[in-house]
Amino acid sequence: MSINNKLEKPLESEKLNPFPATAVSRLINKGNGLVSIQTDATIKAHQITSSYLESLEKSKIQENTGQVIAIVGEYGTGKTHLAFQVISEIEEHETSKTDTFYLDAPADSFHALYKDRFFPLLSKSEVIRRIEDYFSDIVADDLSKSELTLATAQALKNRITSPLEVIKKFGLMDSTYRGQLNNELKRITENEDFATAFSLMLRPEFEDAVWEWLKGESPDPSLKDRGINRTLNSDISVLEAIGVFAFLFGQQNYRFILVIDEMEKVLSPSSKSQNKETLLAFKKLMEAIGKTNSMLLLVGLPDFIETLPDDAQQRISSIIRPSSLTSKNVEAYILEAKIKAGLSNGIKPFTKDVVKYISEIAGGNARKVIRLCFHLYRNAVESGINISRAMVREVSREQFETSTNEDIFNEITRVIDLNGWLYEKDNRYSLNDKEFSVDFSIPLGEDVCNVFVENSILDSSIVKELISKNNSVTEKFKNKQCLCLLVVNGHIAENLKATLEKAFDRVLMNATRTFSDDLDAILKGMIKRIEEKSDKETLTKVLQRVEQISRQISSLRHEVDEKFERTNLSHQAYDLENAVLGAFRNIVGSNVSPRLQNSKANMLFDSIDSRISSMELNFLHEAPASESFNHEIGNIKAVISNFRRDLNNAERMFFGLRKQKEFEREFDRICRRYHDDFHFNDRWMRVLSEVPYGRDVSELEYLIRELPRQVYESYKGY
């Protein structure tokens, strides 16, 4: 049976491709042709928006109706699209005027976000006009008291005439009204400096000076004379400024909408904004939003929410997580896109089966779906055939395999070399009388850590073949340890991921931005698992004997101390005990840490090593042996040792060559990797509390928590 895959009717010109080449979200207006498919997330966004608008209409004074909304999800899931949907719906509502500020966040600080993104969107004339609105209401309220000036008062309220013109026309006391304006702005902004600055903006001679100060420049002498002495040059001050603008723009039947996209860049463990003072200032901004008619939309990866303290997280009124597109969603998207483009032949050249396959391959990721649809439609036009599963696979490989296999192999080799591991390439094995090779093998005595490299996995047959290869290799090491990592250069169909992750010890996709760091961490973890198990089996008897000797020496020292206090013999016993404990640590595997070029950094690490040794001695002398204590102390020592080793590698790679910026970036990546380990968790604290001298625990906790910062400071100017 032959199947005719040719199109019944040639497709329209490629110019009519109904799908965008790239899925880039943009702010839209009603009726502009944007295709938006209804999902659980879009429904929730609509409900939140409707509730917000309804609260504005119900509120008589139109205050305290503000909301903070978080839209969180992975790359390409449609976070920005959802944010723009909310903005568009609000702006189409005609009950009041909306001032919208959309900020993408390429910088790593709020100061940069304010200076480079927020302030350029402000209009000096619009700011002055909003200040004049408040001034108009003050003058109008006074003029409303007389029947003779009611018409003028109404003209002021309707913004038909200017308050400055009315004051001049009627010969009113300008200074009195300006004093009232200043007091009103103090009440509104909750900030004296900004109230003074805004009041002065209504005087032409101060207009430019105030604007430059708001931009972040040092205050002009004319402003200093009026009490404005500080400069808006820190995260805290600019967050305060944004909050003030929210008060200024988000009242009097106005709405202030602020969107901060890619929030993870300004709020992450490694960002400059990650400190208590800045987080407190950000919480105050969230509070300011809630007191007005404003809405703050925080868009980003899920990580940024976790960096906020609990009381700040509680200020977020709703969290929206973009929904994965189902095959029905994808079909609806294709159909609507074609209709909007004036094409009327249903979903052709797609079929329901192909649409389902696209959904599976893309994992419901909106950006990937749109990208595939564009290229598949173009291929169908050029080839004159319907879209098939084979075409989907071909296009997927073209679009998602961003690196060559050579690039991947070079990166794996680089990571292995940097860690000093021996490795073998292309070890041969047999499967069903056919030979295959393992791309990388890291031998560890009689054990091994293997790395398989594969291109995009889009079909179940490839999964079966990979699992068979993995089983064949592990069978050869059935009496030993054999861990296998699968590195995928490209994309894995969502419906195949779970099977692969179950079969292999770890699966890593090259599509991630942190591929190198992830590869390094995964290999270290797998090799550590092998080494720990091997060490435990081979060193058990040795460790038991060393522990026995250690206890004997400890008892001897106590006895000597009692009989010969502060004698030379006592010191000798103490030295002997330290020597044995040092040997014990070496046997366990605490290798001598690398010596850093920076002597200050070395001193910091040595100080922590000394404190840990002190804790071990205290515990050994005063308390019974504890497996949990030894285990957790071992974890702490491993973290410090690994951090020192990675820093040493960074020095060799960059710092020794005076590549300061490259070293700083590498140092930042290292610190992100160890961030969680530098903060004592509950388990650590509970176990370490067994130490007789609790002060040691507190001091050690402080030293380790502060280590990255202090180490970095030690490199400045080195």
pLDDT of 258-306, one tens digit each? 999 888 888 876 666 667 888 888 988 998 888 888 899 999 888 788 7
Highest mean pLDDT: which range of 57-61, 147-151, 606-610, 691-695: 147-151
Mean pLDDT of 367-396: 86
Indicate the pairing of strand 434-444 with strand 424-431.
antiparallel
> Mind listing the pLDDT tens digit for each residue in 537-594?
554 445 545 554 555 555 555 555 555 444 455 455 545 555 555 554 454 444 445 6
- Long-range contacts of 35-38, Cβ-Cβ distance < 8 Å, separation of 24 or more: 35/333, 35/336, 35/337, 35/340, 36/81, 36/85, 37/325, 37/329, 37/332, 37/333, 37/336, 38/332
pLDDT of residue 510: 77
Beta carbons within 10 angstroms of residue 8's beta carbon: 9
Query: How far is the C-alpha of 711 from the C-alpha of 647, rounded, in Å?
Result: 10
Scan for tokens 């943009």, then name that residue. Answer: 26
Cα dihedral value 326, 331, 332, 337, nearest 10: 130
φ/ψ of 489, rounded to 5, equals -90, 85
**Does the pLDDT value for residue 621 go beyond 80?**
no
**Does the pLDDT value for residue 504 go beyond 90?**
yes
Query: How far is the C-alpha of 216 from the C-alpha of 194, rounded, in Å?
Result: 13
Give the pLDDT band (50/70/90) at residue 1.
very low
pLDDT of residue 2: 36
pLDDT of residue 247: 86
Give the least confident one: 104-108, 115-119, 483-487. 104-108
Q: Which helix (H) or strand (E) segment is 450 a member of?
A: strand 447-457
> Mind listing the pLDDT tens digit for each residue in 176-233?
888 888 888 888 777 888 889 988 988 889 999 999 999 999 999 999 998 899 999 9
Query: How far is the C-alpha of 383 from the C-alpha of 665, rounded, in Å?
Result: 47
Query: How far is the C-alpha of 26 from the C-alpha of 23, rounded, in Å?
Result: 10
Beta carbons within 10 angstroms of residue 640's beta carbon: 22
Token pair for 24:
């880039």
Mean pLDDT of 110-119: 90
Cα angle value 120/209/256 (rounded, 5°): 40
φ/ψ of 30, rounded to 5, equals -60, 135
For residue 714, which of 665, 655, 673 has the smallest C-alpha distance?
655
Token pair for 694:
């609790």
What is the Rg, in whole angstroms, of the alpha carbon atoms belonging to the chain? 33
Q: Give whole-number Cα distances, 147 to 162, 177, 232, 378, in Å.
A: 20, 20, 46, 72
pLDDT of residue 30: 43
DSSP state for residue 32 in the 8-state scheme = S
For residue 483, which of 457, 448, 516 has the smallest C-alpha distance?
448
Token pair for 518:
């992830």
Predicted TM-score of the model (pTM): 0.57
Mean pLDDT (the chain, rounded): 78
- Alpha helix ranges (H) inside 291-432: 303-307, 310-313, 327-340, 352-362, 366-383, 389-400, 405-418
Q: Which helix (H) or strand (E) segment is 98 a member of?
A: strand 97-104
Scan for tokens 């990866």, then name that residue. Answer: 301
pLDDT of residue 272: 62
Distance of CA 547 to the CA centre of its chain: 45
Query: How far is the C-alpha of 288 from the C-alpha of 250, rounded, in Å?
Result: 10
pLDDT of residue 680: 65
pLDDT of residue 53: 81
Q: Give whole-number Cα distances, 118 to 110, 259, 309, in Å.
A: 10, 10, 25
- Percent of the chain at pLDDT above 70? 77
Sign of the alpha-carbon torsion through 84, 86, 87, 93: positive
**Does the pLDDT value for residue 631 go beyond 80?**
no
Contact 515, 508 (CB under 8 A): yes
Q: Is 142 left (phi over 0), alpha (psi -120 to 50) or beta?
A: alpha
For residue 466, which of 479, 456, 477 has the smallest C-alpha distance?
456
Which residues fall within 8 angstroms of residue 53, CB to CB, at 6 or more apart? Answer: 89, 90, 93, 95
pLDDT of residue 181: 84
Give the least confident one: 40-49, 388-397, 509-518, 634-643. 509-518
Token pair for 441:
């093998």
pLDDT of residue 359: 86
Beta carbons within 10 angstroms of residue 491's beta carbon: 24
pLDDT of residue 215: 92
Mean pLDDT of 649-668: 69
Query: How far is the C-alpha of 181 from the C-alpha of 137, rounded, in Å?
Result: 9
- Long-range contacts of 692-695, Cβ-Cβ distance < 8 Å, separation of 24 or more: 692/618, 692/619, 692/622, 692/623, 693/615, 693/618
Cα angle value 112/117/120 (rounded, 5°): 120
Mean pLDDT of 233-246: 90
Highest mean pLDDT: which range of 363-367, 537-541, 619-623: 363-367
pLDDT of residue 652: 67
For residue 182, which of 202, 167, 168 has the smallest C-alpha distance?
202
Angle between helices 235-249 and 276-290 (to 10 degrees): 0
Give the pLDDT band (50/70/90) at residue 604.
confident
> Mind listing the pLDDT tens digit for each residue in 7-50?
555 555 445 788 887 655 544 444 444 566 678 888 888 888 88
Indicate the pairing of strand 254-261 with strand 295-300.
parallel
